Structure 1
Amino acid sequence: MAKPIPPNRRWLQNQGARAESQAPTPAPEPVPRVNLNVQNLIRELLGDPVDEDFDLHALVEAYLDDEPQGRVEVLHARYPGQCQGCGRSIRVGERITRHANWGVWVHEGCRNSQRRALRTITARYSGVCRYCRRAIAVGERISQHNRYGWIHEACAQQLQDQS
């Protein structure tokens, strides 16, 4: 069994000197608790408004309003894509913005369109259309449908016209 390490004499001297030099500090006085509701606390911190028509609730609601007033962010496209408002392609450099309801990038003029265009891609693999049961060849335009999965663009257009 190993012997315990004796404390260092110099360390003990320093500890004793440190304890002697520190006088016991008195405990801080407790802060009196005041029951204030939030509105009174804000008025106490900010002071009374100089305007008699000041409405604190209207100020907070205006601050927390999450929709920006009037300004719509318009960017120049950095990547090619497809506009979901009109279905045409988005080319690099065209002015685009987020759609008001869908949250996807569309042409600047398609921002408030109500009808959503089909989103299509070029098929990279062969497969079978789950709507018409015909083959999908590589290079054909296909669209994804919630119920049927990947289907021909013509089949997707037919389903969209039915609804």
Structure 2
Amino acid sequence: MNTPSMLRALPADHRQRLMRLAREVSFPPGTRIFNEGAHADQFWIIRTGSIELDTHVPGRRSAVIETLGHNELLGCSWCFAPHVWHLGATATTPVRAYEFDATAVRSMCRDDPALGQAVTQWVGEVLAHRLRSASTRLLDLYAPYGAGSTV
């Protein structure tokens, strides 16, 4: 199941208002976009390219949780206090994206409760999907053989 895109999740008028805050950015392959534990003050909608989300695993290499692409939301931690990244992100191919200032979007959401509810619902659905993906991926990587199977 893919994460809900802004196009599917938000009504047209809300999308248009958010897009007025967007600026186009690009990241070359290998760019570390954000690190786990850093302040989450932006988010992105990926236009082209791929980005890996990862998590730190003590004593091991970081575990890739999910690969994001076209129309997907990069960054959810900006939406909920304490606004700190829970994962890290690295561009694996050239990436073009729309970048949003999280403070401006949170302010817009506070001023328009309907917009705030729609954005929070969207980000919440993305978070739920990512949590399922992270759980499955970490079981695949680190659980004993067959630990994830049910009888």
**Larger relative contact order (CA 8 Å, sep ≥ 6):** 2
With normalisation by structure 2, the TM-score equals 0.21
Give the strand-richer structure, 1 or 2: 2
Q: Which has the larger radius of gyration?
A: 1
